[in-house]
């Protein structure tokens, strides 16, 4: 008998029919002899509707109140899922984040979990119930209601799975798993049966939208096996697991793409210690998430520093650069919102030196210019023109033998 945490996203509980389908699946899992803990998101676009209403009432509002507002969404879906379970003969009880013992810091709208005290969930399981827990929410050390930020429901599920020592944390969504590329971009993309945590983290960091980086990190740190699968087909999906050293690793597992970022280049800065530190401290103080950073030394004692930021942060990133521009002695400051990034991810890459060469050759064959390069041991990312991204993904997917038969 296993303990399974099943997390259902917004589309999986989007209407009465979907909620009943979820209940039937939980009933099947229980009938198979497993214990189940359910974690739910808010229904469909309910949270978006609440945000619109809040912004109509007060464009700027206290984060504490925003959290209080948004947590209503999971409260509704968890009660409805619990009712639906009752309707198919499964005894259950719903629990808010607070009742489930999810203790967070006081950083409203993006709280971090400090401690898990799921005593009531354990009691419910011991009593033979299926606990249905609100995703995305917790209670702070100040006894206020908090939310965990984007992807927060996945974090709830993973944290509960870790605290309860569950055998697997199933993430139900509207796609059938993790693919070797975004199927909308590369029609020949294949569903991956198995991905390592390291690979999944690189994929999440470079454009795969199925799982947020944060929940993958959390799962890896707490050794929680993830299984990403569809609540529409219920077929087995993709397992995210610890790397298994006895298995031969695929050299390249997936191609990811991302056109949500823009590039900033600070040009002609003196090539001396402290310059980069000053620049990125300023960006950090402006709470800007910097992603890729590339610096080339040049011959005449100056260098160009380029980095990418979310397009939504571009304006404030440029403002932050202006602040330090004179201090660091930069000659130029420019930005480019027309970029895209294509990345190869694969755990076997670290022992296969030919990967980089094949990637560059493939892009060159298509006449695609590489504007920035950054690598990790299991990933290579190239910045190219945004309008070349689709062609690049398809060409690489084919070149690395990932195309479905």
Enumerate binding residues for a copy of itself (CB under 8 A): 16, 19-20, 50, 53-54, 56-62, 64-66, 68-69, 71-73, 75-76, 78-80, 82-84, 86-87, 93-94, 96, 99, 120, 143, 145
Measured from the CB atom, the residue of 84 and 383 that comes closer to a copy of itself is: 84
Q: How far apart are CA 237 and CA 405, in angstroms?
A: 19
Q: Are 325 and 233 in contact (CB under 8 A)?
A: no
Minimum Å distance from CB 125 to a copy of itself?
A: 17
Between 16 and 114, whose beta carbon lies closer to a copy of itself? 16
Q: What are phi and psi of 47, to 5 degrees?
A: -65, -40
DSSP per-residue letters across 329-374: T-SEEEEES-EEEEEEE-GGGGG-THHHHHHHHHHHHTTPPP-EEE
Give the nearer residue to a copy of itself in terms of CB position, either 81 or 363: 81
- Distance from C-alpha of 259 to C-alpha of 340, rounded to nearest angstrom: 4
CA distances from 332 to 51, 233, 298, 370 (A): 39, 53, 15, 21
Is the CB of 67 or the CB of 257 nearer to a copy of itself? 67
Residues 66 and 83 sit within 8 Å (Cβ to Cβ): no
Q: Determine if residue 252 is left, alpha or beta; phi over 0 gives left, psi from -120 to 50 gives alpha, anything else beta.
A: beta
Q: Which is nearer to a copy of itself, 66 or 388 (CB)?
A: 66
Q: In this complex, which beta carbon is closest to a copy of itself, that of residue 82 or of residue 176? A: 82
Nearest approach in angstroms of CB 231 to a copy of itself is: 16
CB nearer a copy of itself, residue 57 or residue 405: 57
Least separation in angstroms between residue 80's CB and a copy of itself is: 5
Tell which phi-psi region holds residue 89, choosing left (phi > 0), alpha (psi between -120 and 50) or beta: left
Contact yes or no for 67/74 (Cβ under 8 A):
no
* 133/383 with CB nearer a copy of itself: 133
The C-alpha atoms of residue 53 and residue 363 are separated, in whole angstroms, by: 46
CB of 3 to a copy of itself, least distance (A): 23
First to last CA, the chain: 37
Find the shortest distance in angstroms from Cβ 91 to a copy of itself: 9
Give the span between the Cα atoms of 93 and 297, in whole angstroms: 61
CB of residue 166 vs a copy of itself: minimum separation in angstroms?
A: 23
What gap in Å lies between CA 191 and CA 206, rounded to an integer? 18
Minimum distance from residue 142 beta carbon to a copy of itself (Å):
10
Please state at what angle helix 63-87 crosses helix 46-57, rounded to 10 degrees. 150
Cβ distance to a copy of itself smaller for residue 51 or 358: 51
What is the closest distance, in whole angstroms, from the C-beta atom of residue 58 to a copy of itself in the complex? 4
* Least Å from the CB of residue 75 to a copy of itself: 4
| Distance of alpha carbon 28 from alpha carbon 188, whole angstroms | 33
Pairwise CA distance, residues 270 & 278, whole Å:
12
From the CB of 85, what's the least distance to a copy of itself, in Å? 8
CB-CB contact of 243 with 347 (8 Å): yes
CB of 92 to a copy of itself, least distance (A): 8
Nearer to a copy of itself, 79 or 294 (CB): 79
Pick the closest to residue 134 from 102, 165, 161 (CA basis): 102
The sheet carrying 194-196 orders its strands as 92-95, 130-134, 35-40, 3-8, 168-173, 226-230, 238-241, 194-196
Q: Identify which of residues 116 and 305 has a Cβ nearer to a copy of itself in the complex.
A: 116
């Amino acid at each position: 008998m296993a303990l399974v945490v099943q997390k259902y996203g917004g589309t999986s509980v989007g209407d009465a029919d979907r909620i009943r389908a979820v209940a039937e699946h939980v009933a099947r899992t229980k009938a198979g002899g497993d214990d189940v803990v359910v974690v739910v998101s808010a229904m469909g676009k309910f949270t978006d509707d609440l945000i619109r209403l809040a912004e109509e009432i007060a464009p700027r509002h206290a984060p504490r109140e925003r959290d209080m507002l948004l947590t209503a969404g999971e409260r509704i879906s968890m009660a409805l899922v619990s009712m639906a379970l009752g309707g198919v003969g499964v005894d259950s009880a719903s629990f808010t984040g607070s009742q489930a013992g999810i203790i967070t810091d006081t950083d409203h709208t993006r709280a971090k979990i400090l401690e898990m005290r799921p005593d009531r969930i354990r009691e419910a399981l011991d009593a033979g119930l299926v606990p249905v827990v609100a995703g995305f929410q917790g209670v702070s050390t100040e006894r206020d209601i908090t939310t965990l930020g984007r992807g927060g429901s996945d974090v709830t599920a993973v944290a509960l799975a870790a605290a309860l020592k569950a055998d697997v944390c199933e993430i139900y969504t509207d796609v059938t798993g993790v693919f070797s590329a975004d199927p909308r971009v590369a029609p020949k993309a294949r569903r991956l049966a198995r991905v390592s945590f390291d690979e999944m983290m690189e994929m999440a960091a470079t454009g795969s939208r199925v799982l947020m980086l944060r929940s993958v990190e959390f799962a890896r740190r707490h050794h929680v096996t993830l299984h990403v699968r569809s609540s529409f087909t219920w077929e087995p999906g993709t397992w995210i697991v610890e790397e298994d050293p006895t298995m031969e690793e695929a050299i390249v597992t997936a191609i990811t793409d991302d056109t949500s970022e823009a590039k900033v280049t600070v040009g002609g800065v003196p090539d001396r210690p402290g310059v980069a530190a000053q620049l990125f401290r300023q960006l950090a103080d402006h709470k800007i998430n910097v992603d890729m950073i590339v610096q080339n030394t040049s011959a005449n004692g100056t260098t160009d520093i380029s980095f990418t930021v979310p397009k939504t942060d571009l304006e404030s990133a440029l403002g932050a650069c202006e602040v330090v521009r004179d201090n660091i002695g930069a000659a130029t400051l420019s930005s480019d919102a027309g970029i895209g990034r294509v990345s190869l991810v694969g755990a076997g890459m670290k022992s296969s030196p030919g990967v980089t060469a094949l990637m560059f050759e493939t892009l060159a064959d298509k006449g695609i210019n590489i504007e920035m390069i950054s690598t990790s041991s299991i990933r290579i990312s190239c910045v190219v023109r945004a309008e070349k991204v689709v062609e690049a993904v398809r060409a690489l997917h084919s070149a690395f033998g990932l195309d479905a038969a």
